[in-house]
Amino acid sequence: MSNKEKREYELNQEGLEEVMKKYDRESNVRVFKGKPAVIVNAVLIGFSLFCIWVTLFATFLEEIRLTSFMGLIVLLGFLYYPADKKQNRVNYIPWYDIVGMILGAGAFLYYTVSAEQIIQQGTRFHAYQIFIAVIGIAALLEVTRRSVGWPILIVALFFIAYAILYGLTNPSVAGRLRYLVRNLFYAKTGILSTPINVCSKYIVVFIIFGAFLERTGISELFINFANCAAGRFAGGPAKVAVISSALCGMVSGSSVGNTVTTGSVTIPMMKETGYKPEFAGAVEAAASTGGQIMPPIMGAAAFLMADIIGVPYSDILIRAIFPAVLYFTGIFIAVHLEAKKHGLTGIPVEKLPKFKRLLKKSYLLLPLILLVIWVSKNMMTMQRAAAFSIVAAIAVGVLDGILDGSYAQAYRDLKAVKAANPAARVLAGNREETKNCFTLKKFLEALEAGGKGTITVGAACGVAGIISGTITMTGLANEMINAIVAAAGDKLFIALFLTMLCCIILGMGVPTTATYCIMAATCAPILTRMGVPILAAHFFVFYFGIVADITPPVALAAYAGSAIAKANPMKTAFNATKMAIAAFLIPYVFCFSPDMLLIDTNAVSVILLYVTSLVGIIGIAAALEGFLIFNMGIVDRVLFAAGGLMMISPGTVTDIAGLALIGAGVAFQLVKRRRAVGAV
């Protein structure tokens, strides 16, 4: 790599970092250099190792495990995230952050060292203990504001205020405050409830596993595989974006992060092929967001779902496959039709990677394969499977360096440097082959990245526990359920529509994990009350919590894609919503026909449902794109849209009617094309 190319690469990376900082709250971190950076990184690495050790080997009280975890989350939150993103002084932490760090972490660690005494106290608490709890709750809320953002904080503060002013039965405000604080901080109905329990037990290990997996080069393998599979066809770069983002997104678990990471490669390729900038950004955003519904990883919320519902994670994994396939099929069809509509070509074959060379790298998939086998066969617990998968990721990383000669080349370069040969030293510094070495540095970087990723998820899960605990204590959950059920009457569609709106609004700018926790406590029970199977109800709120990342007006993933594509943000967001239309329709199918989730069904019913749904998605995608065989007019669009919706809606009558409408639309298209050819 020449000095000019290096400089261009550095400038590109700086631009991507700015995009991440603008649209991804997790990226607005303090800047440390030199010895302070070494110390902070060492703390993050130690935190990751602590989490792995506690998850696998600790046998002490659950209260000790959870409070020590939360104490470290608060400490790292104040250490790593500034109060304002404009605070960008290098190696600087203001005094009030140090005070907040000590007091906030100290509040949780007080519970850690006094756990047995606090448990024995029952409901009798001293004033100083209530004061400590107030400090701990306030510190957690502040860390969440810094690392996650305002939306979830506003929701939490609203429910806390409601509980203190109206929701609790104690006659005095002071009494209500005391009761609320005690239960939110010391009981298992608040911060220490299911979300943070699952986060500290399962999610953190999977976050660390994802960090290790990324450093094995699997993302590059996914992108190359997508190029090999779809790059040569019409609109190849967009199809590459769909496939690679689906594969990379299931590992990263972040819509914005995946959009920026894979989009930095795929969006410029799409624009060069001829796709409009707002379309290119939208494709990447929609596909990256959908990565969180892609098995086997599915982001952190899937582990929460398994724990909340009380089913094995393997059940969630298996039932998520077909809906995910339908979602990405819808996007794939949209980009194909756009390419055909504008006559866009693919990538020249000579520029594509060779499949045989990719096949030689297939061992990089081994950690994922082992994880799926271990979990689906119930051979070990989820956290132990993730830990062993980390070991497998390290092993394949080392194997990769051995097989492609990276270690041998690094050794030769080291010898050249020691020989003080200036020319060899320059060559070693510029050499690209050594980048694949899985070294101690990469090992530590993975632990560091895992620690960083856990801060935001842990803080969000803690606040989600506050929200769900407050709703439960005040009885507001039942009131909300009764109100929506009464408004819907016996119309399930109305209840589903209102639930969808709640999920999208609460999910705007909030991590999927936290959104799912809130909706699982508030909205999923509404659907189960209406007769929807519990698994379908939870999948429904899970899906709509995810698509909030591409739904205007707060479509962070779409805005990140637009920044890379240099496109209009709102146009990009609307295009992304249009392409992800399947995600807005499939959840309704879950609830009206649980066959899609393999609930109480048979093979014939499932196959029929998927075939009709697939035809329906093709019809809707064509209507939205305005093209199938030929450019569509208003009549064609109406026929395809109506037919598509009927095909997706379960039922023999609607399937026949939908097929007839789509058939009529295809006939119109053929007639138009024949006339156009005849006119020429």
CA distance 476 to 496: 19
Across the chain, mean pLDDT equals: 85
Query: Do both 163 and 268 map to the same domain?
Result: no
pLDDT at residue 429, as a whole number? 45
CB-hemisphere CA count at 13 Å for 637?
A: 9
Query: Do both 234 and 143 map to the same domain?
Result: no
Q: Which of 166, 195, 224 is the last residue of a domain?
A: 195
Query: 220, 188, 234: which is closest to 66 by C-alpha?
Result: 188
Residue 117 neighbours by CB distance under 10 Å: 9
pLDDT band per the 50, 70, 90 thresholds, residue 21: low
- Alpha helix segments (H runs only) across 508-555: 512-522, 524-529, 534-546
pLDDT at residue 23, as a whole number? 63
Question: Does a structural domain hold residue 576?
Answer: no
Question: Does a structural domain hold residue 618?
Answer: no
Look at residue 251 and tell me whether its pLDDT is greater than 80.
Answer: no
Query: Do both 189 and 212 map to the same domain?
Result: no
Cα dihedral: 168, 171, 172, 175 (round 10): -60
pLDDT at residue 419, as a whole number? 64
CB 147 within 8 A of CB 513: no
Q: pLDDT digit string (tens) for 254-300?
A: 788 788 888 888 898 899 888 999 999 999 999 988 888 888 777 66
Q: For the chain, what percent of residues have pLDDT higher than 70?
A: 91
Query: Do both 270 and 318 map to the same domain?
Result: yes
**SS3 of residue 535 by DSSP:** helix
pLDDT at residue 300, as a whole number? 63
Query: Do both 177 and 285 map to the same domain?
Result: no
CA distance 517 to 461: 7
User: What's the DSSP call for residue 375?
Assistant: H
Query: 574, 542, 535: which is closest to 286 by C-alpha?
Result: 574
Q: Please say whether the dihedral angle defined by the alpha carbons of residues 601, 607, 613 and 616, taken in this order, is positive or negative.
A: negative
pLDDT at residue 131, as a whole number? 95
Query: 308, 294, 230, 234: which is closest to 258 by C-alpha?
Result: 294
The residue type found at 374 is W
Query: Do both 317 and 178 map to the same domain?
Result: no
pLDDT at residue 445, as a whole number? 92
pLDDT at residue 1, as a whole number? 42
Token match 């779409």: residue? 558
Question: Does a structural domain hold residue 554?
Answer: no
pLDDT at residue 81, as a whole number? 93
Query: 213, 141, 130, 219: which is closest to 178 by C-alpha?
Result: 130
CB 294 within 8 A of CB 249: yes
Tell me the angle at which helices 492-507 and 534-546 cross, rounded to the nearest 10 degrees. Answer: 40
Enumerate the β-bridge partners of residue 504.
none
Q: Average pLDDT of 501-516? A: 79
Look at residue 57 and tell me whether its pLDDT is greater than 70.
Answer: yes
Q: pLDDT digit string (tens) for 399-445?
A: 888 887 777 777 776 676 666 555 554 444 444 444 556 788 899 99
pLDDT at residue 352, as a whole number? 85
| Chain centre distance of CA 352 | 29
Tokens of 345: 């070509």
Look at residue 79 and tell me whether its pLDDT is greater than 90.
Answer: yes
Q: pLDDT digit string (tens) for 562-597?
A: 989 989 999 999 999 998 888 898 899 888 888 888
Question: Does a structural domain hold residue 167?
Answer: yes
**SS3 of residue 59 by DSSP:** coil
pLDDT at residue 480, as a whole number? 78
Range of the domain at 280: 202-403+432-442
> Is the peptide bond prior to 296 cis by the omega test (within 30 degrees of 0)?
yes
| Range in 78-87, 271-280, 511-520 the model is least confident about | 511-520
Q: Which residues of 396-410 are buried (b: 16+ CB within 10 A; e: fewer)?
A: bbbebbeebebbebb
Question: Does a structural domain hold residue 627?
Answer: no
Tokens of 209: 């596993």
| Chain centre distance of CA 605 | 31
CB 460 within 8 A of CB 144: yes
Q: Please say whether the dihedral angle defined by the alpha carbons of residues 636, 640, 643 and 646, taken in this order, is positive or negative.
A: negative
Q: Which of 157, 174, 195 is the last residue of a domain?
A: 195
CA distance 439 to 445: 10
pLDDT band per the 50, 70, 90 thresholds, residue 378: confident
Longest dimension (CA), the chain: 90
Query: Do both 156 and 226 map to the same domain?
Result: no
Query: Do both 164 and 35 map to the same domain?
Result: yes
Query: 359, 299, 355, 358: which is closest to 324 by C-alpha?
Result: 299
Token match 């519970």: residue? 111
How many domains would you assign to the chain? 2
Query: Do both 305 and 349 map to the same domain?
Result: yes
Tokens of 454: 């856990």
Distances 336 to 285, 329, 454, 562 between C-alpha atoms, Å? 17, 10, 38, 20
CB 451 within 8 A of CB 47: yes
The residue type found at 239 is K
End-to-end CA distance of the chain: 52
- Alpha helix segments (H runs only) across 352-475: 355-359, 366-376, 382-403, 406-418, 422-430, 440-474
Q: Average pLDDT of 81-107? A: 90
CB 507 within 8 A of CB 583: no
User: What's the DSSP call for residue 299?
Assistant: T
CB 371 within 8 A of CB 302: no
Question: Does a structural domain hold residue 645?
Answer: no
Enumerate the β-bridge partners of residue 627.
631
Query: Do both 131 and 257 map to the same domain?
Result: no
pLDDT at residue 503, as a whole number? 85
pLDDT at residue 576, as a whole number? 92
Please state the φ and ψ torsions of residue 92, each to the nearest 5 degrees: -125, 125
Q: For the chain, what percent of residues have pLDDT higher than 90?
A: 29
pLDDT at residue 434, as a whole number? 45
Query: Do both 209 and 187 map to the same domain?
Result: no
- Alpha helix segments (H runs only) across 566-651: 569-579, 581-592, 603-625, 634-648
Enumerate the β-bridge partners of residue 631.
627
Look at residue 367 and tell me whether its pLDDT is greater than 50.
Answer: yes
249 or 433, which is more confident? 249
Output the CA angle 290-13-416, nearest 5 degrees. Answer: 120
CA distance 151 to 153: 5
Most confident residue range from 7-16, 302-311, 355-364, 388-397: 388-397
Tokens of 85: 């993103």
CA distance 51 to 47: 6
Look at residue 392 and tell me whether its pLDDT is greater than 90.
Answer: yes
pLDDT at residue 194, as a whole number? 86
Q: pLDDT digit string (tens) for 194-244?
A: 889 988 888 889 889 888 988 888 888 888 888 898 888 888 888 988 888
Query: Do both 272 and 331 map to the same domain?
Result: yes
Cα dihedral: 529, 535, 537, 542 (round 10): 150
Concatenated DSSP letters for 333-361?
HHHHHHHHHHT-----GGGSPPHHHHHTT
| Range in 318-332, 411-425, 466-480 the model is least confident about | 411-425
Rg (CA), the chain: 26
pLDDT at residue 182, as a whole number? 93
The residue type found at 188 is K
pLDDT at residue 16, as a whole number? 62
pLDDT band per the 50, 70, 90 thresholds, residue 134: very high
Tokens of 639: 């026929």
Look at residue 515 and tell me whether its pLDDT is greater than 80.
Answer: no
| Range in 166-170, 267-271, 338-342, 454-458 the model is least confident about | 166-170
Question: Does a structural domain hold residue 63?
Answer: yes
Tokens of 373: 């086998």
pLDDT at residue 5, as a whole number? 40
**SS3 of residue 125 by DSSP:** coil
CA distance 572 to 228: 27
| Range in 153-162, 258-267, 462-471, 529-538 the model is least confident about | 258-267
pLDDT at residue 133, as a whole number? 96
